[in-house]
Structure 1
Amino acid sequence: MKAIVIGAGLGGLLSAARLSKSGYQVDVFERLPITGGRFTNLSYKGFQLSSGAFHILPHGPAGPLAHFLKEVGADVKIVRSDITTVRVPLKKGSQDYEKGFKDISFTDFSTLLSHKDRLKIALLIVSTRKNRPTGSSLQAWIRSQFKDEWLVKFADAFCGWSLSLKSDEVPVEEIFEIIENMYRFGGPGVPIGGCKGVIDALESVIAAHDGKIHTETEVSKILVENGKAVGVLVGEEAYKADLIISDLGHAATACICEEVLSGEKDSGYLKILETLKPSAGIKICLAADEPLVGHSGVLLTPYAKRVNGINEVTQVDPGLAPPGKHLTMSHQYVAPENVKNLEAEIELGLQDLKEIFPNKKYEVLLTQSYHDNWPVNRAASGKDPGNETPIPGLYVVGDGAKRKGGIEVEGVALGVAATMKKILG
């Protein structure tokens, strides 16, 4: 059996590794000169910066991505982060960092609430595990249950960090799926070697099973015969296959199937694609001689103007920075109306970092923005159309086709696993 994978991002390489190990003859076509897409390393001044996703797996060594890597035989060591914290002002409600702040454990967020609201949170945690709320955004649901704006700030920081969305853009049912996965798999972890450590391991699996990865090779068209995907067009050459996996997202995949996806039976699918909104974000990479965060987990910053969360992966893997240096990276959500004014958004993020790390010395290595055709996610979490398409033999994987409750790369892995189950049984 022959399979073609379009795109050598994380979703494409996970698919190629699984299919090649299952006996498929696999060819991967990638238009860029590198593999990994937004999940690899960029070497800069001796630091290993990530091209997109942070060097962190949201559910660490027990999560869906770690499980999939083990299943295909990809040799990646993942170290569980020690703690995730939330930075809050010492005076509740204050946004003036100069008056002092403290870091509390992520699991202690409710200690900033009144005794009555803490009891309500405890009851809701128990009751909603079986009867989950639906039909509203997370923010609307929070405001229907509580009067404390702290919970909205906390939700915005968490959603901004993990999904690059605000809490009023995330369906409440998606957040409860995420919470369930946090119970099931635990918190974050760091892969040794960063993102590229994962990509290199997957490439080794593909090569060991005679799969081929073609870089600087762009697929211009998906070939369809009698309503079924049968191959791709690369330049003037046609490559036939029994199965096509696209890591381009649904909208871009539809563009190279445009004349096919035009019938009445496909109209519902095309209407869904019109509603997909890529999420945007900014990452700021810092170099320092001393730790800024001081632990290997995530530091959430709900009282910052723009920055949602920060991590310092050199606490686990010093090899991601030159000897004696630390690599710290912040992430901030960018609202759709602010995408055209990224310089101002970056400046607000830089101001946040000065306030979050007062009296600390650091160098801004690089600022990276993700939007439009190079977004954080090609479809907002909880709103993508899944992995199937109206064309038999054509599936979509990656950040535009995650499964419910999957944070970033964990959702990518869940989507690939579900797709492989449909294909391989």
Structure 2
Amino acid sequence: MKAIVIGAGLGGLLSAARLSKAGYQVEVYERLPITGGRFTNLSYKGFQLSSGALHILPHGPTGPLAQFLREVGADVEIVRSDTTTVRVPLKKDSPDYSEGFRDIPFSDFPTLLSHKDRLKIALLTVSTRKNRPTGSTLQAWLRSQIKDEWLVKFADSFCGWALSLRSDEVPVEEVFEIIENMYRFGGPGVPVGGCKGIIDALENVIAAHGGKIHTRAEVSKILLENGKAAGVLVGEEAHKADLIISNLGHVATACLCGEALSGDKNSEYLKQLETLRPSAGIKICLAADEPLVGHSGVLLTPYARRINGINEVTQVDPRLAPPGKHLVMSHQYVAPENIKNLEAEIELGLQDLKEIFPDKRYEVLLIQSYHDSWPVNRAASGTDPGNETPIPGLYVVGDGAKGRGGIEVEGVALGVAATMKKILG
């Protein structure tokens, strides 16, 4: 059996590693000159910056991605982060950090509520594990339960960091799946070697089982025979296969199918694709001679203008920076209406960093934006159509087809695992 994987991003390489281990003859075609897509390292001034993801796995060494890596035999060390904190002003109602701030543990966010609301949160935590709220956004549900804008700020910071969305854009049921996964898998961790440590390990697995990865090889068409996926066109050359896995997202994959998806029988699927929109964000990479965050987890910043969260991965792996240096990366959500004004969004993020790290010396290494065809996620969390397509033998993986409740790369792993279960049983 032969499988072709379109795209050598994380989802594509996870799929290729699992299928090659299962005995498939695997070929991966990647249009870029490098593998990893938005999940690899960029060497710059002695720092190992990332092309997308921030060298951190939301569920660390016990999460879906770590489990999948162990399943395929990828040799990656993942170190659990020591803590995740939330930076809040000393005065709760202060609009910024200018009058001082303190960091509280992530789990202590209810302490900023009244005693009555803390009790209500505790009761809701218990009751909603069995009776999940549905039919609204997270923000609307929070406001219907507790009249405190702190919760909205906290939710926006978390959703901005984890999903590149505001809390009024995320279905409440998706957030509760995310919370359930936090209980199930635990908090974040850092892979030694950063994103590329994982990509290199997956490439080794694929090669060990006879798989091949072709870079600078763009797939221009998905070939069908009798209505079933049967291969791909690369340049002028056709490559036949029994199975096609696309890491391009549903919309781009549909475009490669041409007229094959037209017709009434596929109309509902195509309508769903029309509603999908990618999520956008900005990452700012900093170099410092001293620790800025001071721990290896995430620092959430709900009172900032734009920055949602920050991490300092050199707390785990100092080799991601030159000797004596620290690598710090911030992430901020970009609203759809602000994508055309990225310079202003970047400036607001830079102003945030000055207030978040007052009296600290750092250098801005690189500013990266993710939107349109190079987004944070190809489909906003809770909206993707799953991994199957109307064409037999054609599946979609990656950040446009994540599992329910999957944050970032953990969702990619959940989606790939679900796809492999359908294919391999």
Give the TM-score normalised by structure 1: 1.00
> Secondary structure at the residue paired with 2:260?
coil
> 1: CA distance between counterparts of 2:225 and 2:254?
16
Match of 1:312 in 2: 312
Q: Where does the alignment leave 5 or more consecutive residues of structure 2 unmatched?
A: none
Cα displacement (A) at 1:99: 1.1
Match of 1:153 in 2: 153
> 1: CA distance between counterparts of 2:397 and 2:215?
19
Match of 2:100 in 1: 100
Cα displacement (A) at 1:235: 0.8
> 2: CA distance between counterparts of 1:359 and 1:5?
49
Match of 2:85 in 1: 85
Match of 1:168 in 2: 168
Cα displacement (A) at 1:97: 1.7
Q: Where does the alignment leave 5 or more consecutive residues of structure 1 unmatched?
A: none
Match of 1:372 in 2: 372
1:220 partner letter = S
Please say if 1:132 is aligned against 2:126: no
Contact 2:281/2:332 (<8 A) preserved: yes
Match of 1:408 in 2: 408
Cα displacement (A) at 1:225: 1.1
Please say if 1:122 is aligned against 2:122: yes
> Secondary structure at the residue paired with 2:418?
helix
The RMSD of aligned alpha carbons is: 0.4
Match of 1:214 in 2: 214
2:41 partner letter = N
> 1: CA distance between counterparts of 2:215 and 2:53?
21
Cα displacement (A) at 1:319: 0.4
Cα displacement (A) at 1:173: 0.3
> 1: CA distance between counterparts of 2:277 and 2:111?
35
Cα displacement (A) at 1:219: 0.3
> 1: CA distance between counterparts of 2:138 and 2:343?
29
Match of 1:6 in 2: 6
Match of 2:32 in 1: 32
Please say if 1:226 is aligned against 2:226: yes
Match of 1:178 in 2: 178
> 2: CA distance between counterparts of 1:347 and 1:6?
37
Contact 2:86/2:105 (<8 A) preserved: yes
Cα displacement (A) at 1:258: 1.9
> 2: CA distance between counterparts of 1:393 and 1:98?
57
Contact 2:96/2:304 (<8 A) preserved: no
Alpha-carbon displacement from aligned partner over 1:220-253 (angstroms, at most 9, x marks no partner): 0000111100000011110000000000000000
2:384 partner letter = D
> 1: CA distance between counterparts of 2:65 and 2:110?
30
Alpha-carbon displacement from aligned partner over 1:386-419 (angstroms, at most 9, x marks no partner): 0000000000000000010000100000000000
> 2: CA distance between counterparts of 1:6 and 1:323?
38
Match of 1:195 in 2: 195
Cα displacement (A) at 1:96: 3.5
Contact 2:48/2:320 (<8 A) preserved: yes
> 1: CA distance between counterparts of 2:237 and 2:302?
52
Please say if 1:347 is aligned against 2:347: yes
The alpha-carbon distance between structure 1 residues 419 and 96, as it changes in their structure 2 partners (threshold 3 A), is: closer
1:217 partner letter = A
1:103 partner letter = D
> Secondary structure at the residue paired with 1:169?
coil
Cα displacement (A) at 1:98: 2.4
Match of 2:23 in 1: 23
Match of 1:280 in 2: 280
> 2: CA distance between counterparts of 1:423 and 1:96?
51
1:388 partner letter = E
Match of 2:363 in 1: 363
1:422 partner letter = K
> 1: CA distance between counterparts of 2:340 and 2:243?
39
> 2: CA distance between counterparts of 1:106 and 1:199?
30
2:2 partner letter = K
Contact 2:246/2:253 (<8 A) preserved: yes
Cα displacement (A) at 1:95: 2.0
- Quote the sequence identity (%): 87
Alpha-carbon displacement from aligned partner over 1:141-179 (angstroms, at most 9, x marks no partner): 000001100000000000000000000000000000000
Cα displacement (A) at 1:137: 0.1
> 2: CA distance between counterparts of 1:302 and 1:97?
10
Match of 2:300 in 1: 300
> Secondary structure at the residue paired with 2:417?
helix
> Secondary structure at the residue paired with 2:71?
helix
Moved more, 25-34 or 253-262: 253-262
Give the TM-score normalised by structure 2: 1.00
Cα displacement (A) at 1:61: 0.1
2:298 partner letter = V
Alpha-carbon displacement from aligned partner over 1:116-143 (angstroms, at most 9, x marks no partner): 0000000000000000000000000000
> 2: CA distance between counterparts of 1:189 and 1:150?
27
Please say if 1:391 is aligned against 2:391: yes
Moved more, 90-99 or 409-418: 90-99
1:401 partner letter = A
Cα displacement (A) at 1:329: 0.2
Alpha-carbon displacement from aligned partner over 1:83-130 (angstroms, at most 9, x marks no partner): 000000001111242211000000000000000000000000000000
Alpha-carbon displacement from aligned partner over 1:249-286 (angstroms, at most 9, x marks no partner): 00000001121010211111000000001000000000
Q: What does 1:264-279 correspond to in 2, within 5 Å?
A: 264-279=264-279
